[in-house]
Structure 1
């Protein structure tokens, strides 16, 4: 159980679930009005801590510099959204809703409070009072703390799309001109001369004979060969652009009221100031 003396170690420190997953950072601790014991802690969750979830603290354990609670991270993040009023209190209806969400029996919690001799753990209309990280005024202090909010802007990296390479085959018609040759038969007649007379007179005088000539031609032959022509790859290029982020922050102003004083002429002086 977390004591009041350990609150400073809890606030603005990490909060983990029972399996070691970080839920967020502790922002506020709520106390029971009557018992004065810590009852709830709010945890900043979501991107840049934009959400604040309530989680019971009485079963939490302080481990080194962080708080461990017996609830899963997703359970805490999905807890009912509760708005705390200006007085920093939970209504009975709001606390009842939180108890029911976390599986804590309302009547049992009330009986346990009675067994400790202090009424109102689960039966008062104002269940808890906030202990904030800034703006709390200690009792007996004659100074007032002025606080203001600061805006912290970060970036998140997210996927915006996917690009892929896909290779497929297409067929296209290619036309090329190539020369081809062929042979044709030509009949030649030559007169008998002294040079060919002997060849012409050889053999028998009258006979039948045949002479055959083989005719040739060329035809185009098509062959294909696969050759590499280029390599293609995907790469990413990071570019930096300027974006303006606007938000609202709250500041506390302190106004002073001075008592009226009587001057020498019998009139009164006084004034107010702001900081």
Structure 2
């Protein structure tokens, strides 16, 4: 992740904790002022993404297009709340490193500038000592070396006196400015709601078989034999009847119950979701800063107090 272009490609991707849990969306990538290497990443956390957390990129690795860091989700969410839209100071960086338990990588910029100044001062002293040594070698005597050491001592005394003067002026200014201001901070709770899956309902139709019974009236035909006397007309029609065999067939009919099935829609079932509002109790702990003033022991004597409170003459 050394090139800036490659690091910027992760903006908008998910930031995963060491267990692979989604922490939030990556907002910005921060680069070191001295090395131009990606050092910090800001991510949206909290309810509805209202909070922004800074996470160090030490030990980060790519996981399926997203970025995974070696910290758990709770530690990231509890990181110090800083303004992510401005340049981070050295104190803020050290505070974040302490929160994540990460060792501060190398000297900070202010410490490096101070070390460079000390190095230049040491180089100048060595140069002066070298000049004194060369003078001693040329003339075979240590008079010039002694003079050089005396001049260096006087210059050092002058610098010390000047520093003491500046320090005295600073103490005098501090004593003159008796008002001391201190900012007291406290945590405020922003309570919101988030939607998450609480269950699922499966809607399906099933077929059940029910037994039914019903009495159905049916009819059938039977043979009925009836003997009736002949009429004159029958005798005239028959004429000379002859005796012989004769065979006739009669078809009988009978009714039976028949069941026919037919599918018809009988009702419509509508399935919908209904939102029910309930009250959930939320509690937690908020930290507040308290300002206490410890008065140091007064070194003034009673005579000094009397001298201070003595009314003016006249």
Q: TM-score, normalised by structure 1?
A: 0.52
Q: Pairwise CA RMSD of aligned residues?
A: 5.0
The count of aligned residue pairs is: 195
Instruction: Find out whether 1:167 has 2:205 as its counterpart.
Output: yes
- When residues 119 and 168 of structure 1 are mapped into structure 2, their CA distance, relative to the original with a 3 A threshold, is farther
What aligned pairs does 1:86-165 form with structure 2 within 5 A after superposition?
88=95, 90=97, 94-96=101-103, 142-165=180-203
* Cα distance in structure 2, aligned partners of 1:19 and 1:202: 123
Q: Which structure has the highest helix share of the two?
A: 2
Contiguous gaps of at least 5 residues in structure 1:
1-15, 58-69, 99-105, 121-139, 267-275
* Separation of aligned partners in 2, 1:204 and 1:89: 135
Of 265, 274, 277 in structure 2, the residue corresponding to residue 240 of structure 1 is 277
Instruction: Check whether the contact 1:149–1:251 (CA below 8 A) recurs between aligned residues.
Output: yes
Q: Give the number of the structure whose residues are more often strand, by fraction.
A: 1
- 1:1-275 mapped onto 2 (5 Å cutoff): 18-21=9-12, 22-23=25-26, 41=40, 43=42, 46-48=45-47, 54-55=55-56, 74-75=66-67, 78-79=70-71, 88=95, 90=97, 94-96=101-103, 142-194=180-232, 196-199=234-237, 201-257=238-294
Q: What do residues 116-138 of structure 1 show as CA deviations (whole Å, max 9, x unaligned)?
A: 77769xxxxxxxxxxxxxxxxxx
Of structures 1 and 2, the one scoring higher in RCO (CA 8 A, sep 6+) is 1
* Larger Rg belongs to: 2
Contact 2:10 2:26 in 1 (8 A): no
**2:213 and 2:281 mapped to 1: Cα distance?**
60
Q: Are the structure 2 counterparts of residues 148 and 191 from structure 1 closer, same or farther at C-alpha, using a change threshold of 3 Å?
A: same
Unaligned 5+ segments in structure 2 are 1-6, 13-24, 81-93, 117-176, 306-314
